[in-house]
Structure 1
Amino acid sequence: MTLVVLKSLRTLVWGPPPETKLERNLLFKIDWFVLSYTCLAFWCLAIDTSNVSNAYVSGMKEELGIKGNQFNIINTCWTVGYVVGMIPNNLILLKIKPSIWMNFCMFIWGIFTLGMFKVNNWKQICALRFFQAAFESVIFSGSHMILGAWYKPNELSKRSAIFTSSALIGGIFSGSMQGRIQSTMHGLKGLSGWRWLFIIDFLITFVVVIYGILCFPDTPELCHRKFIFSDEEIQLARSRVIKPPPIRLDRTVFLRVLKNWKWYGFSLLFTLAGENISWNANSIFALWLTYNKYPIQDRNYYPMGISAVGIISSFISGIYIDMTHKFLHIALIVSTVLLISTILIWSAPLNTTAVFIAHYLTGISYSVQPVFFAWCNLSIQNDAELKIVTLASMNMFSNAVNAWWGLLFFAADQVPLSKRGCYAMLATIITTPLVALGINYGLTREKRRKEQISHEELESQTSVVEIEHNGIDKQ
């Protein structure tokens, strides 16, 4: 009985196992080597990105004399670098093996992360964060492209949720690590605790780069890691997922993209959804804790609950999508919860209980990342360039807006009231499900058109066969 329950639970959470032993072994190896690498890479990106927020509330602000909205300007510099590097990095992935380019980018951004421990003013942070982000921008969209190349539609959403959750785990890890460093290493070798955080983050990133060089197998078409996959497994990996047409990186690429409504729809959808994460992206809860004079360890530990909510909600969303393929439902549910949290922050910004509940609820905003990217991944199957440009554009436009959105609506000196942030959140929360409805309508219409064309072609072929058959009978 217990075994049956465990198998049922495993099927619910992880999906039904493949029918053949060969495919079961293949899927296990894909999870172990492909999914693990993309998750570790995104985890490193998260700790190397969130470390500035952790450092800011752990003494960096006072030591460097950061004032007013200078913290928001630091975040904006990171965002601009991320946007600048997005499209070029992801197009490079179509020409250079991901195992080479992604690991190269990770190593370079690790160097910039290491440089943070030597900064003496906030302007130096701005410069380092810009270049760090330019190289970090390869991971998110590039990993979604790689996952889409290895996994079937009924396998993808859960893995996308796990991939997204790895960044949230990175945020938890960074906060926990900074809290621990502050209590054990502050003052060691004459360095503040927040400076040690950047040194340790670099060492972690370097270890993951080594792992990627040794074990990451690229995409099925580029995979030649015989010590990981057998020839049979590589052939199966190439045949189990729809193979896109040959890559055509020419002047027609952007013309094809601009003529396709999916590029506009999915880019707009995630631009709005990306701003729905603004409470967390701008560290408003940590700033609220700082404003209310919470101890440094608490400023790092309490926001970890937001990431925990994000992890749980992302995985539940992934299970639901793999079971139902109802992407629109997630958009509606998440918008409803975020509406409740924003109303709480707007109506009771000084009430401790209300603020804690509201900010923990905002963690659900992360669950749309794997859902919307899996939706795009599965909706564009026959054009590799359109897919990678659309995936990159979703992230790029979201961050392009975020470059000024945080400065305008979520400035650090607006805490604890954050009224402008509430109004901005209401606008994006209401608009996001409307765009999702439009995309759902367009995809449904496209599916019906294809079914109609297939039906007409089948009828035409049937008529030809009948004519030929009648001709033979007359002879």
Structure 2
Amino acid sequence: MVALWPSSLLLVRMNPKHFIPGIQLGWTICTFGQAWMKTPTQMYALRALTGVFSTGHYSGIMYLAGSWYQKGELARRLALMNTASQIGPMVNSYLQSAAYVSLTGVRGLSGWRWLMLLDGIVSLVILVPQFFLLSEVPSKLRPNFMFSENECALARARMPREGETELKAFTWSQVVHWFTIPEVWILWVISICNMVGMQPSLSLNFWFKAWNTVEPGSFTVPEINSYTTPLYAIIMTTTLGLAWTSDTFLKGRRWPPMVFGCTLNAIVVLILAATPVFPSNKVGRWFLYYNSGWGASANCMFWAWTNEILAGDSATRSLALAGLNVWGSVAIATIPLAVFKTVDQPAVVEGNYTAAAFLLLQAGLAIALAYWMHHKAQKQLRNSEAQEDSTESNFEDVEIAPTIKK
């Protein structure tokens, strides 16, 4: 959380082409290091550094996408990247199961140390091509083996508000401006609501484990790791569906999918809160947990919205995108301590009611922001029309001098 905003400003100064692979390299080195840590101090240091290096990656990717894609394209691209971020935990769950079963004790290393090595190897394989293939933002794009001069010009022409953005030195008045934009604060609160609304889906793992206390031998460790993965698959599918709907049928409107996803998610969470945690029939509650990620599916809506609202102002856009992570992280670092305590899992009734309230608040804020932006656009249109009328009136009042012929 501390590193997020400085990271966002470095992103703008350094360009995503260099910044994103750079921080991933740092993350990879720290992940390899965790396979060999021996003391708590080493663990604290490596985990802290891992957090610093990972902090700007997601918002950096979102910033880069917002620099390249138009309104009817952006949500789908962000959804694809969100889908990739869901595939990560799925793959990691299978890796955890494999490491637990097959690698524990191999060459004297425990399974979790092998998992760190495997994560580092995967990251390294993905990292190397980025140094050659990851693109710059259009304003800094130059001809290379991927883009011709005409294609560079096309990239800038497609995004005129981003294509020729000139970044000047940061000033104090600019900093004040960053933190006094009403729509940015609405988006930040939406991010808070989204992160709290996601918490009930995290109870699924605890629920499987708790069944072994109620009915010993209900689920093995590999089964628990594997049975949680369909939740990510469902979130991936619904994320892509909402994004395609927003970009196509809804013509770039972001609030309807968000309202739909959050409202449906709130209904699911309220049912979880009002029904027994350990029912006689596991299937019903199992189904509810699998459908507790609809709010998370709408995540790319407010990320796309932030990119679009702040198009043409690179520093503000980058800082606002990082702020979505900052305030979301603040929320999940504090609110779960009160209502989603690990010792209470999976019987977090108060937490589920709290999550439902935040999800409904997110839906309400999406409607409010849509109204605010519509009202703002109408006001700008009226001002523009009034200015044009004034210009035409002045033009009509000008006396045209007679032409003098020799």
| TM-score (normalised: structure 1) | 0.78
- Cα pair 1:345 1:354 within 8 Å, conserved: no
In the alignment, does 2:58 pair up with 1:128?
no
2:237 is the alignment partner of 1:312? yes
8 Å CA contact 2:143, 2:149 repeated in 1: no
CA displacement at 1:442 relative to structure 2: 1.0
Residue 403 (structure 1) aligns with: 333
SS in structure 1 opposite 2:160?
coil
Please state how far the C-alpha of 1:200 moved relative to its aligned partner. Answer: 0.5
Question: Which secondary structure state, in structure 2, belongs to the residue aligned with residue 93 of structure 1?
Answer: helix
The answer as to 2:30 corresponding to 1:118 is: no
State the partner residue of 1:105.
23
Pairing of 1:20-419 with structure 2 (within 5 A): 83-119=1-37, 125-224=43-142, 226-244=144-162, 245-248=165-168, 249-280=170-201, 283-293=202-212, 294-323=219-248, 324=250, 325-346=252-273, 347-351=275-279, 352-419=282-349
Correspondence 1:467 to 2:397: yes
Would you say the 8 A contact 2:8–2:319 is kept in 1?
A: yes
The residue type equivalent to 1:142 in the other structure is: G
Q: Give the residue type in structure 2 aligned to 1:285.
A: L
Say whether the 8 Å CA contact 1:284–1:412 is kept in structure 2: no
Q: Secondary structure at the match of 1:243?
A: helix
CA distance in 2: counterparts of 1:462 and 1:124, whole angstroms: 72
Do 1:160 and 1:374's aligned partners in 2 also have CA atoms closer than 8 Å? yes
Identity score, percent: 20
Shift in alpha-carbon separation, 1:473–1:290, aligned structure 2, 3 A: farther
Deviation at 1:228, TM superposition (A): 0.8
Cα distance in 2, alignment partners of residues 272 and 174 from structure 1: 27
Counterparts of 2:152 and 2:24, CA distance in 1: 27
Separation in 1, partners of 2:73, 2:19: 26
**Quick one: which amino acid aligns to residue 304 of structure 1?**
T
Judge which range, 133-142 or 377-386, deviates more.
377-386
Q: Cα distance, 1:288 vs. partner? A: 1.6
2:200–2:269: 8 Å Cα contact kept in structure 1? no
Assess if the C-alpha contact under 8 Å between 1:242 and 1:381 holds in 2. Answer: no
**Residues 296 and 353 (structure 1), Cα distance of their counterparts in 2 relative to 1, 3 Å cut:** same
Contact kept in structure 2, 1:350 and 1:417, CA below 8 Å: no
Structure 1 runs not aligned, ≥5 long: 1-82
Distance 1:310 1:225 in 2: 38
Q: Give 2:207's aligned amino acid.
A: W
Residues 419, 125 of structure 1: CA spacing in aligned structure 2 closer, same or farther, 3 A cutoff? Answer: farther
Over 3 Å counting, the alpha-carbon distance change for 1:441 and 1:123 in structure 2 is farther
Superposed CA deviations along residues 273-312 of structure 1, whole A, max 9, x for unmatched, are 12111134xx321122122231111111111111111111
The alpha carbon displacement at 1:357 in A equals 1.1
1-side partners of 2:207 and 2:180: how far apart? 45
Q: Distance in 2 between matches of 1:427 and 1:354?
A: 23
2:326 is matched by which residue type in structure 1?
Answer: M
Work out whether residues 344 and 355 of structure 1, in 8 Å CA contact, stay in contact via their aligned partners in 2: no
Shift, 1:236, TM fit: 0.7
How far the C-alpha of 1:424 sits from its partner, in A, is 1.9
Partners of 2:28 and 2:124 within 8 A in 1:
yes
Aligned equivalents of 1:91, 1:172: Cα separation in 2: 32
What letter matches 1:246 in structure 2? E
Distance 1:420 1:124, change over 3 A: farther
For residues 385-426 of structure 1, the C-alpha deviation after alignment (integer angstroms, 9 at most, x for no partner) is: 221111111111110121122222222211231123213212
CA distance in 1, matches of 2:346, 2:310: 43
Q: Under a length normalisation based on structure 2, what TM-score does the superposition of the two structures give?
A: 0.90
Structure 2 unmatched runs, 5+: 213-218
Q: Give the 3-state SS of the residue equivalent to 2:95 in structure 1.
A: helix
The amino acid across from 2:203 in the alignment is I
Please state how far the C-alpha of 1:319 moved relative to its aligned partner.
0.8
Residues 217, 224 of structure 1: 8 Å contact kept: no
Aligned to 1:429, which of 359, 363, 386?
Answer: 359
| 1-structure distance, mates of 2:300, 2:160 | 20
Measure the CA separation in 2 of the matches of 1:386 and 1:308. Answer: 34
In the TM superposition, residue 179 of structure 1 has moved relative to its aligned partner by 1.8
Which residue type is aligned with residue 349 of structure 1? V
Change in 2 beyond 3 A, CA 1:225/1:299: farther
Instruction: After TM superposition, give the deviation of residue 382 of structure 1 in Å.
Output: 3.3
CA gap of 1:123–1:306, structure 2 versus 1, over 3 A, is farther
State the shift of 1:473 in Å.
7.7
8 Å CA contact 2:295–2:359 kept in 1: the answer is: no
| Partner Cα distance (2:39, 2:60) in 1 | 33
CA shift digits 1:59-87 (9 cap, x unpaired) = xxxxxxxxxxxxxxxxxxxxxxxx11110
Aligned residue pairs, count: 390
Offset, 1:182: 2.7
Deviations 1:134-167 (CA, angstroms, capped at 9, x unpaired):
2111112111111111111111111011111110
Hey, what's the Cα distance between the residues in 2 that align with 1:208 and 1:455? 51
